[in-house]
Amino acid sequence: MSDAANTAPKQRGIPFKPGQSGNPAGKPKGARHKVTLAIEALLEGEAEKLTKKAITLAMAGDITALRLCMDRLAPVRRDRPVTFDLPKIETADDLPKATQAIMEAVAGGELTPSEAAELGKLVDAHAKAIEVTDLHRRLAVLEGGRT
């Protein structure tokens, strides 16, 4: 046998076809990881005692326990509703008005830069929808006067 044959990677089993996994149905909904189940089994019946202990430690000045309690009482908000009057966007000509309003709101402290960035993404998605709709209409006219 040649050295090349000995060093070539060996294929095991039947390979999956491109774009197809070994489990097309995927993990069933509601399936829980075995580690999560084991932890829940260990904590069963002890949750109240552990909670009281964490509160006692927090009240005694344990910063880690205090942080744990506060994270449960007042978790960090990841998102908040934004009340902001965005000008109506019906055509591509309306887009500069919308982006100008967003920039002015950031400059005036009405929106944070990250909130403005998220609004900008929405405006961009709406602009693409307008563009696609406009192209569809123009193509229909070119193909025979359909609207």
Annotate the chain with DSSP letters as a single string: --HHHHHSPPP-SPPPPTT--S-TT-SPTT---HHHHHHHHHHTTTHHHHHHHHHHHHHTT-HHHHHHHHHHHSPPPS-------PPP--SGGGHHHHHHHHHHHHHTTSS-HHHHHHHHHHHHHHHHHHHHHHHHHHHHHHHHS--
In a domain, 96, yes or no: yes
Mean pLDDT of 16-41: 78
User: Does residue 140 sit in the same domain as residue 98?
Assistant: yes
In a domain, 15, yes or no: no
> Can you give the pTM of this predicted structure?
0.47
CA angle 15, 18, 20 (to 5 degrees): 85
> What dihedral angle (degrees, nearest 10) is formed by the CA atoms of 66, 67, 72, 77?
140
The answer to whether residue 44 scores a pLDDT higher than 60 is yes
User: Does residue 98 sit in the same domain as residue 139?
Assistant: yes
User: Does residue 139 sit in the same domain as residue 100?
Assistant: yes
Mean pLDDT of 12-25: 68
Amino acid code (one letter) for 10: K
User: Does residue 140 sit in the same domain as residue 99?
Assistant: yes
In a domain, 19, yes or no: no
In a domain, 139, yes or no: yes
User: Does residue 69 sit in the same domain as residue 96?
Assistant: no
User: Does residue 98 sit in the same domain as residue 140?
Assistant: yes
In a domain, 23, yes or no: no
In a domain, 111, yes or no: yes
In a domain, 128, yes or no: yes
pLDDT, residue 102, reads 94
Domain count, the chain: 2
- Residue range 47-72, pLDDT digits in tens: 888 889 999 999 999 999 999 888 88
- Residue range 91-116, pLDDT digits in tens: 889 999 999 999 999 999 989 898 89
Q: What range defines the domain where residue 110 resides?
A: 92-144
User: Does residue 106 sit in the same domain as residue 139?
Assistant: yes
Residue 85 banded pLDDT, cuts 50, 70, 90: confident
User: Does residue 96 sit in the same domain as residue 131?
Assistant: yes
In a domain, 125, yes or no: yes
pLDDT, residue 107, reads 94
Last residue in a domain, options 12, 44, 73: 73
